[in-house]
Chain A
Amino acid sequence: MAPLVPHSHVLVLAAAVFVLGAVCVAARRNLLMILIGVEVMLNAAGLAFVGAALAWRQLEGQAFVIFIMAVAASEVSVGLALIVYSQRRTGTVDADRYNLMKG
């Protein structure tokens, strides 16, 4: 039983990673990069859960990380399939080009 860091530090780290992911989502134009940002955010959430599991000494936190990973995996596969599909259709993965809903 070694002392680690305060729980809030773990959460701060998770928040920082999450924000990085959010910035990536908001700022990048490439669809793939946006998807990567989403992955980063999910990962940060998992980190937060693991820290919470340690803090509250409950395994539910870790169990939930399993599910997060499952969801992330399925979501990435479908998302990438979509990106491939739309690349075939429109010839670009630039999010700015997908503006048929403009106005």
Chain B
Amino acid sequence: MKAVILLLLLFPLGSAVFNAVAGTRLPRRLVETVACLGVLGALGMAAVALVLAGGRAHDLTLLPWFGAGGFSAAMNVHFDPLAAVMALMVTFVAAVIHLYSVAFMRQESDYVRYFCCLNLFVFAMLVITVADSLLFVYLGWEGVGFCSYALIGFWYRDPANADAGRKAFICTRIGDVAFGVALALFFVRFDNFSISYVNAHAPALSPVLATVLALLLLLAAVGKSAQLPLTVWLPDAMAGPTPVSALIHAATMVTAGAYLLMRLFPVVQISPTAMLVIGAVGAVTTLYGAGAALAQWDIKKMLAFSTISQVGYMFLAVGAGDIVGGLFHLVSHAFFKALLFLAAGIVIQALAEEHNIFRMGNLRRLLPQVYWLFLAGAVSLSAFPLLGGFFSKDRILLATFIHPGGAYKIFWFIALAAAFLTPLYTFRAFFVAFPNRPGGRGADEIHPTPAFMARVLWPLAVCALGDGLLNLPGGIGKNFLGHYLAAVPGARPDLAAGLATEWAMGITSAAIVVISMVLAYLRYGRGPAPEPAIAGFWEVLFTGFYLDRLYQLIFVKPYQAASFWLWRQVDDRWDRGLVAAAEAAFRAYWAFTELLWLKVDEVLLDDGVVKTASGLEAASRGLGRWTTGRLSTYLAMLLLGLTLFFGALGVSWLLR
């Protein structure tokens, strides 16, 4: 088991390192193969681990990590059903995306960097998924943040892309700080970073500390998952390649925040206040995301806001105490959102980087496979009855509704409104971009894309449409996922809401979805779709309720002004002072070296050396005078020797 988990992590890491080291020197196909094998290997390992785990939790230590002053951290793994499901989902979606990327990046010369970062990302995400030690989680947390930054700004030569990467990194950093504080608090309180330990001892927490911890974790999750108030980076992150958006900003990284809350749910559960706040954040964000998505003309930005909205559902689920529902929706969302992104990617490439849906059209005729794929995803996203995301969203709404507390009813209503908006914006985009209509694109405008790109998406489509089967509320396979997750602390397999409430909820959701789809069709599905002007209320939605501009005003501009002032006053003066000091130092140094040169070098060294040499020469000449070649000299030397001998005898006798 330990070997399986180790391989699970090492496959993507190994291929990343291999490509990093040798990738530029190897043929392209080899690099791509290694990268895909890395993730496919991880997928295999995840499946094997799932089977081996058998629904129980496994605590394993992979490697010792570091120790300092009596404290030691190890790379521990807590492989429970939650981690098993998440790992399988992550590796599966990542595998599809890797295969898709091979074709998508076929004209990209910098593919080595891409695949390296992508593999590294998978590794880091898997670390977050399986790690037991919170420090280890933090390692993966930072890792995904970095890879996200690197991949968003992949085409860094355009400064806008680099800026987007930086924006993403800074926003998630705020969450990371909160995570760090939470880590410190955990250590202070429990003396232990292990998730399983913390979860087991969670009831011992005081409510105040639990609230603080849960709120800190929420802030960390909010940063990573682009929830309010830190949503602003995700739409900009669409500057990265589409597969990146699919993997990182739809299926995995943005769900890592919700996942963290689910992992540490026993801690969160202790504090009803925190649960309320989490639910509130989730609910408001769903509406916010849905609303903003409605006004977008860029297909990727629309999907980004949609992601924000859907992740809000997951947070809402956690706030309502239903982590089964949260995970269920997480998995569903991963499938259909990735599918939607990747299909959009094909369209964008085919239309030569056209992102504006109002400039698409006729895609049913021109890209038939993509038409059906996108439709599958859209239907799933809209939570069309019985298909795809219907059951997961329905479960969340149910959980929210039945949760005690008036606030939760409000949350339910907000989420329901968002559920109404979701099909609206989804099918708005669909009906504008895909069906055949006059004013759409012509066949000559299509750039050929490899058929492989579309074909590799079909498994994803099947999963997206059929994943409702994972956790049906009734009938065969009832609450399958829920029961599987029974070993996870805090999981409730059965919501026990009562049959009537369940049916009422289901029918309400279904009705709302259908009505919304019909409305979308009526508005956008017939006739030409002119691009609406972005003005008035539409503008509010388009800019995401001016959140970006608000942050610019509150944070960015003052910060820039302050740094400018600092530069002027301090830095500049510093610099001038430093320059003067440097000049003075340099002059002093020069004088010093001159002094050294004159005094030391010339006198001591040069003269010294010369004098030594001449001294030696004189000495040798002096000694040479002894070789006079005269007999008398040598005889005198003999006498000298005799004297010395006598002297030695005398001295030795004296010392005796």
Asked if A pairs with B, the answer is yes
Q: B620-635 vs A: 1/0 string, CB under 8 Å?
A: 0000100111111001
| B642, closest chain A residue (CB) | A22
Q: Is the interface of B mostly helix, strand, loop or mixed?
A: helix
Q: How far is the CA of A31 from the CA of B635 in the complex (A)?
A: 12
Kindly identify, within residues 597 to 656 of chain B, every residue whose CB is under 8 Å from any CB belonging to chain A.
624, 627-632, 635-636, 638-639, 642
Q: Which residues of B contact A6 (CB under 8 A)?
A: none
Report B-chain residues with C-beta under 8 Å of the C-beta of A52.
none
A22 touches B639 (CB 8 A): yes
Nearest B-chain residue to A18, judged by Cβ = B642
CA distance A22 to B624 in the complex (A): 25
Partner of B629 from the list A25, A34, A100 (CB cut-off 8 Å) is: A100
Kindly state whether residue A23 has any CB partner on chain B within 8 Å.
yes
* Docked-complex contact B627 and A102, CB < 8 angstroms: yes
Complex alpha-carbon distance, A25 and B632, angstroms:
8
Report yes or no: B632 in contact with A29, Cβ–Cβ below 8 A.
yes
Determine whether the beta carbon of B630 is less than 8 Å from that of A26. Answer: no
Residue A69 CB within 8 A of the other chain: no
| A73 within 8 A of partner (CB) | no
Whether a CB of chain B sits under 8 angstroms from the CB of A98 is yes
Considering only residues 51-103 of chain A, those with a C-beta below 8 Å from chain B are 95-96, 98-103
Contact for A102 among B628, B639, B642, CB less than 8 A:
B628
Residues in B neighbouring A95, C-beta threshold 8 A = 630-632
Q: Tell me how far the C-beta of A68 lies from the nearest C-beta in chain B, rounded to whole angstroms.
A: 19
* Inter-chain contact B624/A103, CB cutoff 8 Å: yes
Cβ A98 vs Cβ B630 within 8 A: yes
Residue of A nearest to B632 (CB): A95
What is the distance, in angstroms, from B625's C-beta to the closest C-beta of chain A? 9
Determine which of A22, A23, A27, A96 lies in contact with B630 in the assembled complex, contact meaning CB atoms within 8 Å. A96
Q: Return the CB mask of B531-569 against A: 1 if under 8 Å, else 0.
A: 000000000000000000000000000000000000000
Separation of A43 and B629 alpha carbons in the complex (Å):
29
Contact at B635–A99, with CB atoms within 8 Å? Answer: no
User: Given known contacts A95-B630, A96-B630, A103-B629, is B635 in contact with A34 (CB within 8 Å)?
Assistant: yes
Indicate whether A96 sits within 8 Å of B632 (C-beta atoms), given known contacts A103-B624, A103-B627: yes
Are A99 and B630 in touch, CB under 8 angstroms?
Answer: yes
Q: Which residue of A lies closest to B637 (CB)?
A: A26
Shortest Cβ gap from A20 to chain B (Å): 12
* CB 8 Å contact bits of B81-124 with A (1 = contact, 0 = none): 00000000000000000000000000000000000000000000
Q: How many residue-residue contacts, CB under 8 A, span A and B?
A: 41
Task: For residue A92, give the distance in angstroms from its CB to the closest CB of chain B.
Answer: 12
B639 touches A23 (CB 8 A): yes
Within 8 Å CB of A34, what residues of B? Answer: 631-632, 635
**Bound CA–CA A99/B629 (angstroms):** 4
Query: Which residues from chain A contact B642 at a C-beta distance below 8 Å?
Result: 22
* Residues in A neighbouring B635, C-beta threshold 8 A: 25-26, 34
For A98, the chain B residues whose CB sits under 8 A away are 629-631
- The residues of A that contact B638 with a CB separation of less than 8 Å are 22, 25-26
Chain B minimum-CB-distance residue to A38: B635
- Distance from A24 Cβ to chain B, minimum over Cβ atoms (Å): 10
User: Nearest chain A CB to B449's CB is how many angstroms away?
Assistant: 98
Is the Cβ of A101 less than 8 Å from the Cβ of B629? yes
Query: B639: nearest residue on chain A (CB-CB)?
Result: A26
Which of B627, B629, B638 neighbours the largest number of chain A CB atoms within 10 Å of its CB?
B629
Chain B residue at minimum C-beta to C-beta distance from A102: B629
Task: Give the docked Cα–Cα distance between A103 and B621 (Å).
Answer: 10
Please, how many angstroms separate the alpha-carbon atoms of A3 and B215 in the complex? 125
Closest Cβ of chain A to B647, distance in Å, is 14
Minimum C-beta distance from B203 to chain A (A) = 105
Most interface-central of B624, B627, B629, B632 (chain A CB within 10 A): B632
Q: With A and B bound together, what is the CA distance between A11 and B545 in angstroms?
A: 128
B620 CB to nearest A CB, Å:
12
Question: Which residues of A from 10 to 40 have beta carbons under 8 Å from B?
Answer: 22-23, 25-29, 31, 34
Question: How far, in angstroms, from A31 to B631 measured CA to CA in the complex?
Answer: 9
Complex alpha-carbon distance, A103 and B626, angstroms: 8
| Interface residue from A25, A29, A101 paired with B639 (Cβ < 8 Å) | A25
User: Cα distance A21–B88 when bound, in Å?
Assistant: 114
Question: In the docked arrangement, what's the CA distance between A23 and B636, Å?
Answer: 8
Given A95-B631, A99-B629, A100-B629, CB of A26 within 8 Å of CB of B624: no
Chain A residues with Cβ below 8 Å from B631 are: 31, 34, 95, 98
Distance from A80 Cβ to chain B, minimum over Cβ atoms (Å) = 16
Flag if B628 contacts A26 (CB, 8 Å). no
By a CB distance below 8 angstroms, the chain A residues around B632 are 26-29, 34, 95-96
B contact residues around A96 at 8 Å (CB):
630, 632
A100 to B635, CA, bound (A): 16
- Residues of B within 8 Å of A102, CB to CB, are 627-630
Tell me, in angstroms, the Cα distance from A42 to B628 when the chains sit together.
Answer: 27
Of B627, B628, B631, B638, chain A has the most CB atoms within 10 Å of the CB of B631
Q: By the criterion CB–CB under 8 Å, are A99 and B639 in contact? A: no
Bound Cα distance A103, B628 (Å): 6
CB distance from B418 to the nearest CB of A (A): 113
Chain A residues near B627 (CB, 8 Å)? 101-103
Q: Which residues of A contact B628 (CB under 8 A)?
A: 99, 102
Docked CA distance A28–B638 (Å): 14
List, sorted by A's number, 24 A–B pairs whose CB atoms are closer than 8 Å: A22-B639, A23-B639, A25-B639, A26-B638, A26-B639, A27-B632, A27-B636, A34-B631, A34-B632, A34-B635, A95-B631, A96-B630, A96-B632, A98-B629, A98-B630, A99-B628, A99-B629, A99-B630, A101-B629, A102-B628, A102-B629, A102-B630, A103-B624, A103-B627
Task: Give me 10 other A-B pairs in contact (C-beta within 8 A), A25-B639, A26-B639, A98-B630 excluded.
Answer: A23-B639, A26-B636, A27-B632, A95-B631, A95-B632, A96-B630, A96-B632, A99-B629, A101-B629, A103-B629
Give the top 3 A-B pairs by smallest Cβ distance, nearest first. A102-B629, A101-B629, A99-B629
